[in-house]
Amino acid sequence: MPAPAQRPAPAQPPVPRRSVLQPLQRRLRRYFGFSRRETSGFVLLLLLMVLWLWLPTLLRPALPQYNPAADQQQLNQWAAELAARRTTRPRSTSRYPKRAYAARTRVPQVALAPFNPNAFTALDWQARGLPVWLAERLVKYRTAVGGFKAKEQIRKAYGLSDTTYARLAPYIQLPEQLPPHEAGTYARTQPGQYPNRYPDRKPFEATPGRFARKPTRLAAFDVNTADTTQLMQIRGIGRGYARRVVEYRQRLGGFLREDQLAEIYALRDAPDLVDSLRKYTFVAPGFAPAFIDVNNGSFEELQAHPYVGKRLARVLVAFRQQHGPFRQPADLRQIRVLDEATLEKLQPYLMLR
């Protein structure tokens, strides 16, 4: 008996391959996924937020339409009134009309060479570096004395500084001094140049001793020991300038260099007077100035010094109270308001104890 035929086994469905990303997707869906109820709540919350942002626009009242015509008309009326007042008001005229000064031409400078001052005009003096007023003064001075006869006359001209004269003197073709027979009888005008209009009147006689004539040849003296009378012997230095020099010297504690004379406030605009003071004064070698004690001096004593002043004195007193006394001059560099130039000038006058 034949063997029964075997039925083929039913085909098994293919087993799906497990993806590697499935665990990761499952975790993301578990922690970040939304249910249907959560999604509905999120959408409702989003709609409420949009409504909340739009609500002020819905509740804002409608603004009235602005018409600028009325305001513009009012502004035009005010402008017309101001213009009418400006035109009807009489303009004030000055009692002293402005004078028109002719522009001075610039004179080109020339190199210094030997010259005769008696043949110079004002323009020639300006071409040698002199200002207009000084050039015109020299021409008038030459006319008054009847011509320059020596360099000494030019040196005595008022306003001519010693530095300018020293620059011009080597090129002036004149002798240094007047002849002996004219040195004592020199006058501003020659006899008979101007006739006497009042012959019956006696000539003017100066009161002796009222205005003492300053010496023409002055020996140099110590500026730290000179008084006002000795300083007034210098040409151009009067009682006021002499008093200011002495006062500044007392506040400073004595001059250490001649260039400190230029620091005097009254002489800042007078370089010719400073040159005269330097010419006839000197500082004795080994001079010891009066010192200022920055550790024990009071505010009034410190601020009186020209190199300190009120601001720096206030800072010095406050600094030594907070940090103790200064040990050496270099400690003053810790003060910010004290610059290096002032410290160098102040250092010879410091005393630390």
Distance from first CA to last CA of the chain, Å, rounded? 143
The DSSP secondary structure of 117-166, one letter per residue, reads GGG--HHHHHHTT--HHHHHHHHHHHHHHTS--SHHHHHTSTT--HHHHH
Residues of the chain with pLDDT > 70: what percent? 80
Residue type, 82: L
> Is residue 47's pLDDT more than 90?
yes
Assigned superfamily of 292-351: Photosystem II 12 kDa extrinsic protein (1.10.150.320)
Tally the C-alpha atoms within 13 A of residue 88's C-alpha that lie toward its C-beta.
Answer: 6
The whole-angstrom separation of Cα 114 and Cα 128 is 12
116-152 core/surface letters (b: 16 or more CB in 10 A; e: else):
ebeebebebbbbbebeeebbebbbebbeeeeebbbbb
Q: What is the pLDDT of residue 255?
A: 93
294-343 pLDDT per residue, tens: 888 888 989 999 999 899 899 988 988 888 888 888 888 888 888 888 88
For the chain, what are the domain ranges? 117-183, 221-282, 292-351
34-44 pLDDT per residue, tens: 788 888 898 99
The DSSP secondary structure of 265-283, one letter per residue, reads GGGTT-HHHHHHHHHHEE-
26-43 core/surface letters (b: 16 or more CB in 10 A; e: else):
eeeeeeeeeeeeeeeeee
3-state helix, strand and coil shares in percent for the chain, rounded to the nearest 5? 50, 5, 50
Give 323's contacts (C-beta < 8 A, 6+ positions apart): 334
Q: What is the pLDDT of residue 48?
A: 93
179-199 pLDDT per residue, tens: 766 655 444 444 444 455 555
pLDDT-derived band at 84, boundaries 50, 70, 90: confident
CA-based torsion, 219, 223, 226, 231: positive or negative: positive
Residue 113 vs residue 58, higher pLDDT:
113
What residue has token string 């007077």? 273
Q: What integer best gives the mean pLDDT of the chain?
A: 81
What is the pTM assigned to this prediction? 0.42
Q: What is the pLDDT of residue 295?
A: 87
Residue 283 vs residue 194, higher pLDDT:
283
> Is residue 208's pLDDT more than 90?
no
